[in-house]
Every structure is written in C-alpha cells, then in structure tokens.
Homo-oligomer: A and B are copies of this chain.
Amino acid sequence: MDSERAERLLFEELRIPSVSALPEHAADIRRNAEWLGELLAGGGFRVELVSNAGGPHPVVLAERLDAGPGRPTLTVYGHYDVQPADPLEKWESPPFEPTVREGVVYARGAADSKGQHMAWIAAALAEPRPPLNLRFLIEGEEESGGRSLPTLLRERAAGLRSDYVVIADAVFSPNGLPTLVTGLRGLLYVEIEASGPAVDLHSGLFGGVAPNPFHGLVHLLASMRDREGRITIAGFFDDVEPPSAEELASWERLGDSDREVERVQGAPLVGDPDQPPLHRRWARPTLDIHGLPGGFIGAGPKTVIPARASAKLSFRLVPNQTPDRVEALLREHIRTHGVPGVRFELPLIGGGAPVRIGTDHPGVAAMSRAFVEGFGKEPVLAREGFTVPVTLDFMNTLGAPMLVTGFVPWDAAPHSPNERLPLDFYRRGIATAAAFMRNLAG
C-alpha cells in the first residue's frame, strides 16, 4: 500500500466519532466496526464482528491464517473507540475532521489509538503479504470499560492461539526513544455521590443548618490526598512493588525527562516530594479528581444548597495493587471520614489491574531490530502510567509472549483537545510493523 492510501484510510477512520463513553454515539461505534471489517475483508481476512459478548460494542476479529506450515501467528490488539472530545472550544480544528498542519494530523483518536492500529493494518495489507499468520482484535470499549473483548478471549481462547501478541497502544519516551513496555498502571474509577438535604435549598433560608454535600465532598477528598499530593488513605501503599534493577538500569537511558514533561504540561511538576517524578508517572499509584457534578455551574450567581453532588475520580494502580483491595480501602476511608449530615455512596466502580510484562522472549529482539529499521533507534524498556485493561486478559487467556509498544510521540495529547499524530511517525510506524512481521517470521 502506498503511503497516500494509508493516510487516506487513517483520515477516513478519524472522521467517525466513535466515542464509546457517550450513548448517543452508539451508531458511530458500529459504523467504525463495520468500516474496519470491510477494509480487512478486502485484504483477504476472515472477519467477524463479535457483539453482545459482555458489552455494548462489537469486537472486530479478523484473521488471515494462510501463511503456511511453520509460520508463527501474530495477534495485534487495538481499539477503535475514542475519548469524548470536550472541551470542544479548545480544539483548533474540529475533532472529527482530521486536519493536517505542518505534517501533523489533528483529530480525536489520531494517537489513541486509530493511528496505531491503522499502521499495523496498512503493513498487513501490503503486497507481498507478510510471511506469517495474522489476527487483529480491535475493540470498541477500551475507553468505557466494557467487557466484550475479555469475554471473547476467555470463551474462545483455544481458537485464538498466538505465538506473539502486540498491544499497539503505547507511546515513545519524552526524549524521543521507542519503548517496549514492562509495566502498565491499573485503574480504579469511582464516582462518590454525596447526599445532603432532601431537595435543593435556598442558602439564605437554610444556610447555617443544612448539610451541603459539596462541603462533605471537599472534606472527604482533601482527606484522601494531601496538599503536596501524597495519598493519605490508610494501607494504600502496602502492596506497591518498586521497579526492578533491570528497569532502573534501562531508565538511565531516558536522561532527564522532567523538563520535557514540564514543558508539555505547562506547569511545574508537583506531587509526593519523596519520589522522583519519573517514578511518580510510571511506578507509583495516583489519585485524580476528574469532575464534581452537581449544583449550579452556569454563568452568574445562584445560591443553591444542592440535594446531591458527586465526585468523579480515579486511582492509577501499580504492581501489586489490585482494584478490589483499593476499593475496600476506599470504602473504609469513607466510612471513617464522615461529615455530619452528608451520606456517601459509590454508584460507579470500574477498573483494571496493573500489569507486569516479561521481556524474556525472541519477540523483543525482532521488535528492537524493526524499530532500528523504521525509526533508526533502539527501543528502551519503559513503563507506562496509563492503563490498557485488556493486556492482563490477553496474558491470562492466550499466555503468549506480549509486546506492548507504539508509534506515537509522547506529547500527542491523548484524551486532550488537539490530539495529534505526526504523519512521519505514521509512515515510520508502518515500516516498523512490516519489518517486525518479517523479523518474526525469520
């Protein structure tokens, strides 16, 4: 496939607003799955859209297992769903109209992760065909915590036997090196709902005697993470395992990335002063508040004491923490940090465990040589601070050696306005994917 067609195909997929967290985009999600299915079927793949396997959105399962005897089988994972695009007003071009400025394409999903699986698909659709058996598993629920792909992996593990699994959802290091990921943080996402009065009240009439659920929430939340950023939930760090000696040695190659991280976030690095910033991003658990719905958030003054308010927040978890154990600690913390008159509930709970990924298999050398061919650089062992929940499901069901890697620069603004992907990374990613498949086949 020439690079012009590869770009055209990427832009086509980027135009589909496949936001899995918002029910109004359900039809777009299905359209994206069908679009991928037709594309892969056109390249000789047997395609199945696996629906209703535990979540609302179909998994695109595409296989081309005709490479002949003795050839390895590679499974590539990606996700075609994307994060919501808001705040819309912060985008310099429409999030679902891919726009190229100075060789960079801007669109929701360009980096996370349509640009990733499309590089692998472009390499797979090239002629002559790569000399190995290929399978794509591209899900539509990565950003919304659905269970379709995990269910599919568990129920059909035998039929999905693989020699290697590539999770195409990681990024380069801040100093510009490709990465092979040895650990992913897990996630526990919760919504804490606080109830005060039975109805919304006028603060002039009831101010001074009514329990205000926002005051309950600010005290509860302040008690969970201190001013400097240390998490203060009892027992929270008990299970945290420090990075290995091999990881620490590889991290030396990264140099000082702190200034680069500071530049991208546009604010000083803050957080637990007892841990280096790189450890805080990769190897330490976090707590972040994402939103506090409730009350009056329009323009101008309104003096309401709301009946209810909530906090949306998440914990990033590291080996050997588990979402279940952290949820139990959180419930105990809430129980012991009550605020008079305010009741707390947890209506939303979801998440995935953190993951450690081994590097003692031949796929590592094949991928290293591929990166040298595609990008001219050896990859570094790294961790990622984010979560690819299905990684653990792949490990537990297929048991194949895993490669978690990606063709996206570190500052590509996933989950943010103006998400982007340099087209040079996309082209080099296609070359790297092709080289890896050749290397793997020997």
Q: Does the CB pair B312–A201 fall under 8 Å?
A: no
Known: A187-B303, A227-B219, A296-B312. Is A286-B207 also a contact (CB below 8 A)? yes
Q: Does the CB pair B306–A207 fall under 8 Å?
A: no
A302 CB contacts on chain B under 8 angstroms: 21, 83-84, 143, 290-291, 312, 415
The residues in A between 124 and 152 inclusive whose CB is less than 8 angstroms from any CB of B are 143-145
Q: Does the CB pair B209–A261 fall under 8 Å?
A: yes
Q: Does the CB pair A208–B280 fall under 8 Å?
A: yes
Among the stretches A98-106, A263-271, A361-369, A371-379, the one at the interface with B is: A263-271
| Cα of A227 to Cα of B220 in the assembled complex, Å | 9
Residue in B90, B200, B206 whose CB lies within 8 Å of A200: B90
The residues in A between 265 and 317 inclusive whose CB is less than 8 angstroms from any CB of B are 265-272, 275, 277, 280-281, 284, 286, 288-306, 309, 312, 314, 316
Does A417 touch B at the CB level, under 8 Å? yes
Residue of B nearest to A279 (CB): B208
The residues in A between 182 and 213 inclusive whose CB is less than 8 angstroms from any CB of B are 185, 187, 189, 196-212
Residue in B203, B207, B209, B293 whose CB lies within 8 Å of A297: B293
Q: Does the CB pair A301–B21 fall under 8 Å?
A: yes
A200 CB contacts on chain B under 8 angstroms: 87, 90, 415-417
A164 CB contacts on chain B under 8 angstroms: none
Among the stretches A67-75, A234-242, A380-388, the one at the interface with B is: A380-388
- Minimum CB–CB distance from A159 to chain B (whole Å) comes to 31
Q: Does the CB pair A204–B218 fall under 8 Å?
A: no
Most buried by B among A197, A296, A413: A296
Residue of B nearest to A301 (CB): B189
Q: Does the CB pair A280–B227 fall under 8 Å?
A: no
Interface residues on A, range: 35 or more
Q: Does the CB pair A303–B288 fall under 8 Å?
A: yes
- Minimum CB–CB distance from A349 to chain B (whole Å) comes to 10
Q: Does the CB pair B22–A299 fall under 8 Å?
A: yes
Known: A280-B209, A312-B296. Is A204-B384 also a contact (CB below 8 A)? yes
Known: A187-B303, A203-B316, A314-B203. Is A339-B211 also a contact (CB below 8 A)? no
Residue in B203, B288, B312 whose CB lies within 8 Å of A207: B288
Does A414 touch B at the CB level, under 8 Å? yes
Residue of B nearest to A337 (CB): B227
**B-binding residues in A (CB < 8 A):** 21-23, 83-84, 86-87, 90, 143-145, 171, 185, 187, 189, 196-212, 214-215, 217-219, 221-222, 225, 227-229, 261, 265-272, 275, 277, 280-281, 284, 286, 288-306, 309, 312, 314, 316, 339-341, 348, 350, 384-387, 410, 413-418
Apart from the given pairs A218-B221, A291-B302, 11 other A-B contacts in the complex at a CB distance below 8 Å = A87-B200, A144-B301, A196-B267, A198-B266, A199-B417, A208-B316, A215-B288, A228-B340, A291-B297, A291-B304, A292-B294
22 contacts between A and B (CB under 8 A): A21-B298, A22-B299, A90-B200, A143-B302, A145-B300, A185-B204, A202-B415, A203-B286, A203-B386, A204-B385, A204-B387, A205-B281, A206-B261, A209-B269, A210-B265, A214-B291, A215-B229, A215-B288, A288-B303, A291-B302, A297-B297, A301-B314
